Structure 1
């Protein structure tokens, strides 16, 4: 790692502060950037995430994907944790904190909104940023692609029923445009570009050419991460500064859920003898959230200025610092896993 990469957490903190400051100094600019979206997906952020995902996609060897079925443990952990545990523990934490722990500080109607927002986050495990976290932990790019793809397929069928069950409503209008567009932008397009680039590099210089090219473009991936943080905190800086205590209360169950889900999946993978290159991405998928989908559904069901929508935004703000701390932990504990 370069000196810059070793201090990535420090640069992320600087990006958070820069985003908060610039959001106050240049509100019109950030307002304009926030409007560049389609189906609740901000296209500027999408481009930056694409820049982060593309380097890992170059490492995907399409010919080796067929053999992943012989190593199903990582996929089993991903599916069980993401879909049979995570949504329900998030709902339970929401009830615990907003019906009991913070009950005297929050209006009951607002509490119901906050619980709903947490449920939407819990039922939407991550898609795009998993590739970034996997790359930072030296995860297996082929296995990560299969894990994310399987997760997306399950999401198409399971998201609405789980949310409907936990919210106690009979109909959920799933924003299919958001779901499909996100998968295309964050998985299909960078994968196609990565495979095409890999094929061209292999024809020119073999695997060495691939490795050299990935090293050269790696700074662009880190820069994309930092600019994404600046934008996210610039978009929501006024909310954070106006209601800091409320933001901390909303972040509390999200933080507990994030670290708890990671500990469960990562510990399970360690106990089951899953290699670290599979175990780390496996645990990180469930820890982070598909925030575009959660935000879109929250706005569609409860409105732009609802408490549910605010919770999903807080989920966005919490995610990057939390995930970087877990990436650092995963890297420090790599030696504890089988080779």
Structure 2
């Protein structure tokens, strides 16, 4: 039997391993739940540092090879690889047991979410809010929102699934399948939607970003995971994840400080920009979560699968979006700012979705019971 991450196997139980590992993991989980607070602090710190030490940020911006900023790339790797270590591709064996839930989530993630975000970005940013936004950045903002929605979340969904008591086997299998699809689908979807939005696509940089931020980290994570499991089993993997968890979060926050350091003057001059960029993100999250949840009820999917399905369908791989936006459009671009706004709003919005699916469980299961003969 394929094991899900140890901390999400059941509610209310301590994970296996020593007390120090358990305490560290619990602290990381609490840190993730309050990520919005830390992001808000990073905004302030980044703006202050960018104003006081502009020459330092200018120097950082020059550390590039083939349009990939080396400092940001290192930070993104520190963010992504620990997350990918949690993914066991043997979990794909459980996909068949939850084929309805998997099918719904795949439909939302790859056929609805990127295209709905492109439409929302064009409506809100390209038309409705355009008079209040800097004209030269409108297309860049749209590009950032498209990047944000083009890949489903990989790691934080384990937190959301655990909070809503979702089926861990389904969550693990769905994330593993999404990661495999992302390797081949991310670049074509981004290229298509940016082209439709009449935004120039630097294909060489886009493909390089996929290689650096998806393909290589997936391969490295699986090699390291396999070696650890062969030598020390799940306990060895848990110990490494406990050590890397804080490093991953610090890398995320350091990246945000850099981004807001570069964007500081623009934000101070136009604070309304962040609020306006948040609106299509909010609409997109609630729309996709609601559609996935409704489809689960309509097709008779068990609640413990439908709840994480709604969360996986709505959440975004913001670490990848931030890295791709920087590589494609630069540290000071509107695209980079739009993806960072996604980080800012994602955590509280997803926690609200968790609360909604938990409170509506009775309604959901009554509907399943009423439609059971039809679903069968």
**Common fold, TM-score beyond 0.5?**
yes
Aligned residues: 320
1:322 corresponds to 2:345: yes
Instruction: Quote how far apart the aligned CAs of 1:147 are.
Output: 0.9
Q: Distance in 1 between matches of 2:317 and 2:84?
A: 20
1:159 corresponds to 2:190: yes
Instruction: Quote how far apart the aligned CAs of 1:316 are.
Output: 1.9
- 2:149 is paired with a residue of what secondary structure? coil
Does the 8 A contact of 1:90 with 1:257 survive in 2?
yes
Deviation per CA, 1:166-188: give whole Å up to 9, x if none.
43x8x854232223222235433
Does the 8 A contact of 2:105 with 2:309 survive in 1?
no
In the superposition, the TM-score normalised over structure 1's length comes to 0.75
Deviation per CA, 1:2-55: give whole Å up to 9, x if none.
396264433332222112212222222222223334444433333333333333
Closer, same or farther: CA 19–195 of 1 in aligned 2, 3 Å:
farther
Q: Distance in 1 between matches of 2:132 and 2:39?
A: 32
Q: Distance in 2 between matches of 1:159 and 1:89?
A: 13
2:142 pairs with 114, 118, 126, which one?
118
Instruction: Quote how far apart the aligned CAs of 1:83 are.
Output: 3.8
Does the 8 A contact of 2:79 with 2:319 survive in 1?
no
Q: Distance in 2 between matches of 1:267 and 1:287?
A: 25
Closer, same or farther: CA 75–157 of 1 in aligned 2, 3 Å:
farther
Closer, same or farther: CA 291–211 of 1 in aligned 2, 3 Å:
closer
Does the 8 A contact of 2:76 with 2:319 survive in 1?
no
- In the alignment, structure 2 segments of 5+ residues that lack a partner are 1-25, 163-167, 366-376
Instruction: Quote how far apart the aligned CAs of 1:191 are.
Output: 3.3
1:13 pairs with 20, 37, 40, which one?
40
Matches within 5 A, 1:1-339: 1-2=26-27, 5=31, 7-97=34-124, 101-102=128-129, 105=132, 110=135, 114-115=138-139, 117-118=141-142, 121-122=145-146, 125=149, 127=151, 130-137=153-160, 138=162, 140-167=171-198, 172-174=201-203, 175=205, 176-202=207-233, 207-265=234-292, 268-269=295-296, 272-273=301-302, 274=305, 276-277=307-308, 279-285=310-316, 290-294=321-325, 296-297=327-328, 309-310=333-334, 312-332=335-355, 335=358, 336=361
Does the 8 A contact of 2:81 with 2:218 survive in 1?
no
Q: Distance in 2 between matches of 1:326 and 1:121?
A: 16
Q: Distance in 2 between matches of 1:30 and 1:13?
A: 20
Deviation per CA, 1:141-161: give whole Å up to 9, x if none.
453132122133223444333
Does the 8 A contact of 1:125 with 1:289 survive in 2?
no
Does the 8 A contact of 2:77 with 2:217 survive in 1?
yes
Over the residues paired in the alignment, what is the CA RMSD in angstroms? 3.8
Task: Return 42-51 or 235-244, whichever deviates more.
Answer: 42-51
Does the 8 A contact of 2:84 with 2:217 survive in 1?
no
Does the 8 A contact of 1:54 with 1:194 survive in 2?
no
